[in-house]
Amino acid sequence: MALTESYMLPLGSQAPDFKLPDVVTNKDRSLQELKGEKGSLVIFMCNHCPYVVHLMDAIVETAKIFSHKGINTITISSNSIISHPQDGPEEMNKLALEKKFSFPYLFDSTQKVAHEYLAACTPDFYLFDENLSLVYRGRYDASRPGNDIPVTGNDLHKACDNMLNNNPIEELQYPSMGCNIKWHQGNSPEEKSKN
């Protein structure tokens, strides 16, 4: 398990558009269709990563809190199911139903969307405003498996409040840390840059 930090997409970036299958409904869903009235939270995650498992219940709760504020949550798994079949659509569907996800769980089989968002790890959090302009990317909070820091969501929730109150964007944002996205052979950002 390689501990990997976010690449930190530049603040102000427009959310790359996508259309991906929702593992619960088996329907293709687009960003335009799923975005929230006041903002959109896009999370790259997967089923098996210990860093995601550590935050899973908090992510489910945050999505509920955010939805009351007009912010929709969209989760995406981009992991290769050749190397990690436990992250495939069938298992994603089971997890979404077991945890009663109130948000779509989309499968990025080509990993194109992960590349466009510069996603590097699971979990990787991106908060966009009502115009789909990036106001926050990075960690949920300082809690990690085994570091005994309580899960609070402070970093993400503070960024959300700042956005909703039209406060200036905080330039100091800490990268998320987690397992690296499990790229298809030859598809990692490092390998692609060599071609």
Distance CA 124, CA 139 (A): 7
Distance CA 99, CA 135 (A): 28
Higher pLDDT, 170 or 14: 14
pLDDT digits (tens, 9 = 90+) for 95-124: 999 999 999 999 999 999 999 999 999 999
Is pLDDT of 195 > 60? no
CA 116 to chain centre: 13
For residue 3, give the nearest of 155, 136, 126, 120 by alpha carbon.
120
For residue 162, give the nearest of 71, 87, 82, 51 by alpha carbon.
71
pLDDT digits (tens, 9 = 90+) for 54-94: 999 999 999 999 999 999 999 999 999 998 999 999 999 99
CATH of the domain at 136: 3.40.30.10
Question: Treating both helix axes as pointing N-terminal to C-terminal, what angle do 50-68 and 154-164 enclose, rounded to 10 degrees?
Answer: 30
- Contacts with 191 (C-beta within 8 Å, 6 or more apart), sequence order: 183
Judged by DSSP in three states, 20 sits in strand
Alpha helices in the chain (DSSP H): 31-34, 50-68, 89-98, 112-116, 154-164, 189-194
**Residue 194 confidence (pLDDT):** 62
Number of domains in the chain: 1
Residue 14 is part of which domain span?
3-194
Cα distances (angstroms) measured from residue 153 to each of 80, 106, 112, 125: 28, 23, 28, 11
Is pLDDT of 191 > 80? no
pLDDT mean across residues, the chain: 93
Is pLDDT of 185 > 90? no
